[in-house]
């Protein structure tokens, strides 16, 4: 009988594996033969575990493939492999260890092993000095936990795994602790374990004595918000559906372009669904901490005793400042600590300025944060520094005062406002931004000439004292929405609402607001009244002007403000506001912040409806913002010149010859000759050795020749 028809099943495990999966009962004897072979190989392996047993690896892979076919024979097989790896995990040959781990992963994918038993083993194997093994186990743990929680959350299993990982973060092996940290952070970012328990477990890693673990945990808290910002910024670069349709409309209609358009539209819809899903689940990890005050204090103590690199200390300062700013914590020792580093020559000083501004909030006492502010003013905003340093200092002062306005004193603010006339544009723009900030929040601290013209939004606005909160019983700005709707009804003759009571209240508010406008504008309807008023204003003294302005302000506060509050309360209680309504409200509020209060002719300004309120964190761009680029050095200028020459043909001066193969003139030949050949000629020699008298004579002869030629022309 030829070898082709001979029974070679005991030696051909892949063929036997295929046949067993098709018909397990018919090949049970062959399987038992291989199982007895496995037991014999296992006994030999126990004698010397460090050797590489290829036959054992092959038979283990075979048994793992057919485990589901013979559950009565292989009930204890997974536990045997687990015990084998627990006893001799670090001594095993890397190839054999990888084979055993992949076999267990295969059995787990078939649902024959509980995940908690397998995860405990894999986390212990993270201690092995095998990078490929750690990566394989890491990917399996993340994917398995994600699949377990895909349909519904298994809270019992998640609690057990989180407790085990909490102990692994404190493991003596730095590699195992770092891999456990990576598993937790990856599961959090994939929205599998996106809960407060995971965040608080990760917060303990920030206090670890192992630098890699500590840095990884701090990157999680500092990087989660940055990734969300980058994803939101990347959304702006993507084309909209309207742009795609318009692009297809102007092009020629072909089947290929139609398929491309359909594919792009499906991708855009999928991206919108994914973005909506991520918006509902995205939340800063800093908000999920149980006790941020205690965590910030422990982290600050760890920073004071730390001997880590400067980059690690910067990360700790960044995290502490974010905690203080987000949760409005009281950590008074932080400000004098960071004050020591606020020097222009300090490395990464712009980041340190950002951290100092980030740690300011409205509940910080002014006497606590004022020394840090004065350190920035004294060290940066001086004439002995460059204009860029002064601009950075002014930007830092603006960011600090924007979060804690009470730390600025009147004399200091007026001194800083004088830099609006500085010779450098960077300093001028930074000073103007500081002036604009206090125009909105506390204009009385500025000089009268710097306060600007009062706007509609400034009516009745008062600076908040320490600990004061502007609490309202209505949605601010709803009266502006009503005013816009009433104008829309007058033009289009369309009723806003079928509710008669609401329409009546809107009409009453409209009449009251119109009367209020009359008080503000003094009802100047004729040109003669305008001219007379201008003449009276010119003849009046400055004292009468101030009294009149104060009188107008008091009348405005006593009449207009209560009527607007009444209308806003009525609308807030009787109408359900949509997102479009809030956009209109915000747009009208921005217009009121720009339009002057006493203007007689108002123009509609097209403004963006984006919210200009300050976020939780300070952007480094706000500190480093410069409005004029610095002078380029020689290398940068040459680089820009060469970049402009790219794609341009080489310059060729002079006339083009009719016949390029014709000979050149004697003058052209001299141009291409070496200078050493030409320097001995009479012309070059005479030109280089002419005296001053000879030059005078040559100039006189040239002028006489020019004069004679001009006479001949006339």
Residue 392 confidence (pLDDT):
93
Contact 169, 177 (CB under 8 A): yes
Summarize pLDDT for 630-642 with one digit per residue, the tens. Answer: 677 888 888 888 8
Specify which of 165-179, 480-494, 585-599 reaches the highest per-range mean pLDDT.
165-179
pLDDT at 154 over 90: no
Residue 529 confidence (pLDDT):
39
Tracing tokens 């209680």 back to the chain, one arrives at 573
Give the other-Cβ count within 10 Å of 257's Cβ.
13
Residue 598 confidence (pLDDT):
46
Summarize pLDDT for 165-196 with one digit per residue, the tens. Answer: 888 888 888 888 888 899 889 988 888 888 88
Partnered with residue 596 across adjacent β-strands are 455
| Closest to 67 (Cα-Cα) out of 101, 7, 24 | 24
pLDDT at 226 over 60: no
Handedness of CA 186, 187, 191, 194 (dihedral sign): negative
Contacts of 573 (CB under 8 A, 6+ apart): 474
Q: Which tokens hold the place of 133?
A: 């093994």
**Which CB contacts under 8 angstroms, 24+ apart, belong to 578-587?**
581/481, 583/609, 584/480, 584/481, 584/484, 585/475, 585/477, 585/478, 585/480, 585/481, 586/477, 586/611
Return the higher-pLDDT residue of 535 and 176.
176
> Which of these ranges, 83-87, 138-142, 456-460, 620-624, has the smallest mean pLDDT?
456-460
Return the higher-pLDDT residue of 330 and 542.
330
Residue 461 confidence (pLDDT):
67
Summarize pLDDT for 644-663 with one digit per residue, the tens. Answer: 888 777 666 666 667 777 88
Specify which of 270-274, 326-330, 577-581 reaches the highest per-range mean pLDDT.
326-330
> Which of these ranges, 7-11, 520-524, 600-604, 614-618, has the smallest mean pLDDT?
520-524
Q: What is d(CA 513, CA 560) in angstroms, rounded to the nearest whole number?
A: 7
Give one word for 467, left, alpha or beta, with left for phi > 0 and alpha for psi -120 to 50: left
> Which of these ranges, 6-20, 231-245, 393-407, has the smallest mean pLDDT?
231-245
Per DSSP, the three-state class of 714 is coil
Residue 525 confidence (pLDDT):
37
Tracing tokens 């108002």 back to the chain, one arrives at 602
Contact 179, 126 (CB under 8 A): yes
* pLDDT-derived band at 713, boundaries 50, 70, 90: confident
* pLDDT-derived band at 161, boundaries 50, 70, 90: confident
Claim: this prediction has a pTM higher than 0.75: no
H-assigned helices in 540-645? 542-574, 579-594, 620-623, 634-644
Residue 457 confidence (pLDDT):
62
Give the DSSP H/E element, type plus range, for residue 626: none
| Extents of the domains making up the chain | 291-453, 478-597
The separation between CA 516 and the C-alpha centre of its own chain, rounded to angstroms, equals 44
| Closest to 259 (Cα-Cα) out of 318, 312, 267, 433 | 267
pLDDT at 484 over 60: no
H-assigned helices in 89-210? 94-109, 115-125, 131-151, 155-168, 174-189, 196-205
* pLDDT-derived band at 371, boundaries 50, 70, 90: very high
Q: What are φ and ψ of residue 330, in 5° steps?
A: -115, 105
pLDDT at 264 over 70: yes
> Which of these ranges, 206-220, 444-458, 606-620, 628-642, has the smallest mean pLDDT?
606-620
Mean residue pLDDT across the chain: 77
> Which of these ranges, 387-396, 427-436, 510-519, has the smallest mean pLDDT?
510-519
pLDDT at 30 over 90: no
Return the higher-pLDDT residue of 98 and 536.
98
Summarize pLDDT for 388-414 with one digit per residue, the tens. Answer: 999 999 999 999 999 999 999 999 999
Return the higher-pLDDT residue of 29 and 10.
29
Residue 352 confidence (pLDDT):
94
Contact 679, 685 (CB under 8 A): yes
Return the higher-pLDDT residue of 248 and 200.
200
Return the higher-pLDDT residue of 646 and 550.
646
Residue 415 confidence (pLDDT):
93
Using alpha carbons, list the distances in angstroms from residue 552 to 454, 455, 515, 592, 594: 12, 13, 14, 18, 19
């Amino acid at each position: 009988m030829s070898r082709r028809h001979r029974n070679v099943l005991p030696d051909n495990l892949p063929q036997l594996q295929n046949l067993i999966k098709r018909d397990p009962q018919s090949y049970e004897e062959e399987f038992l033969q291989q199982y007895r072979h496995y037991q014999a190989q296992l006994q030999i392996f126990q004698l010397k575990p460090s050797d590489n047993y290829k036959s054992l690896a092959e038979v283990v892979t075979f048994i793992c493939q057919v485990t589901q076919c013979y559950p009565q024979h292989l009930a204890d097989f997974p536990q045997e492999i687990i015990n084998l790896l627990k006893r001799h995990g670090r001594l095993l040959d890397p190839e054999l260890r990888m084979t055993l781990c992949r076999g267990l992963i295969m059995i787990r994918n078939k649902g024959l092993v509980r995940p908690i038993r397998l995860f405990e083993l894999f986390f212990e194997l993270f201690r092995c000095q095998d990078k490929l093994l750690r990566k394989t186990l890491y990917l399996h743990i993340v994917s398995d936990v994600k699949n377990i929680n895909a349909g519904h959350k298994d809270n019992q299993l998640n609690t057990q795994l989180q407790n085990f990982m909490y102990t692994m973060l404190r493991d003596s092996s730095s590699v195992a602790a770092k891999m456990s940290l990576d598993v937790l952070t990856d599961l959090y970012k994939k929205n599998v374990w996106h809960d407060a328990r995971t965040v608080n477990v990760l917060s303990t890693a920030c206090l670890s004595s192992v630098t890699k673990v500590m840095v990884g945990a701090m990157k999680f808290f500092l990087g989660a918000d940055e990734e969300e910002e980058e994803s939101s910024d990347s959304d702006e670069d993507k084309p909209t559906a309207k742009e795609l349709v318009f692009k297809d409309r102007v092009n020629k209609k072909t089947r290929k372009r139609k398929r491309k358009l359909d594919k792009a539209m499906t991708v855009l819809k999928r991206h919108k669904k994914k973005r909506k899903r991520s918006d509902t689940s995205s939340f800063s990890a800093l908000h999920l901490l149980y006790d941020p005050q205690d965590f910030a204090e422990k982290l600050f103590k760890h920073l004071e005793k730390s001997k880590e690199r400067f980059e690690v200390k910067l990360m700790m300062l960044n995290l502490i400042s974010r905690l203080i700013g987000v949760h409005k914590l009281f950590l008074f020792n932080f400000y004098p600590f960071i004050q020591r580093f606020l020097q222009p020559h300090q490395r990464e000083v712009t980041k340190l300025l950002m951290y100092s501004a980030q740690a300011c909030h409205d509940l910080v006492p002014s006497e606590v944060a004022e020394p840090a502010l004065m350190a920035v003013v004294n060290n940066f905003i001086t004439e002995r520094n460059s204009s860029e340093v002064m601009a950075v200092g002014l930007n830092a002062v603006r960011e600090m005062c924007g979060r804690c306005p009470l730390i600025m004193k009147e004399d200091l603010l007026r001194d800083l406002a004088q830099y609006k006339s500085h010779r450098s544009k960077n300093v001028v723009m930074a000073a103007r931004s500081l002036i604009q900030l206090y125009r909105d929040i506390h204009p009385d601290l500025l000089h009268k000439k710097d306060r600007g013209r009062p706007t509609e939004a400034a009516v009745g606005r008062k600076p908040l004292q320490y600990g004061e909160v502007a609490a309202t019983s209505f949605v601010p700005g709803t009266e502006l929405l009503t005013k816009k709707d009433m104008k829309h009804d007058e033009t289009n003759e369309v009723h806003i609402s079928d509710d008669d009571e609401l329409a009546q209240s809107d009409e009453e508010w409209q009449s009251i607001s119109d009367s209020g406008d009359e008080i503000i504008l003094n009802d100047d309807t004729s040109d003669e009244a305008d001219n007379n008023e201008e003449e009276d204003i010119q003849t009046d003294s400055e004292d009468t002007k101030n009294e009149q302005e104060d009188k107008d302000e008091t009348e405005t506060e006593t009449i207009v403000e209560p009527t607007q509050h009444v209308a806003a309360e009525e609308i807030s209680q009787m109408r359900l506001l949509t997102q479009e309504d809030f956009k209109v409200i915000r747009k009208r509020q921005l217009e009121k912040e720009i339009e002057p209060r006493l203007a007689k002719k108002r123009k509609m300004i097209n403004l963006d409806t984006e919210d200009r309120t300050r976020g939780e964190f300070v952007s480094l761009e706000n500190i480093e913002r410069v409005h004029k680029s610095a002078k380029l050095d020689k290398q940068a200028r040459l680089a820009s010149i060469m970049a402009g020459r790219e794609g341009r043909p080489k310059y060729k001066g002079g006339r083009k010859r009719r016949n390029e193969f014709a000979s050149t003139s004697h003058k052209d030949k001299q141009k291409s000759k070496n200078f050493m050949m030409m320097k001995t000629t009479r012309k070059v020699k005479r030109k280089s050795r002419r005296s001053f008298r000879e030059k005078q004579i040559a100039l006189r002869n040239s002028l006489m020749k020019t004069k004679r030629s001009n006479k001949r022309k006339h």
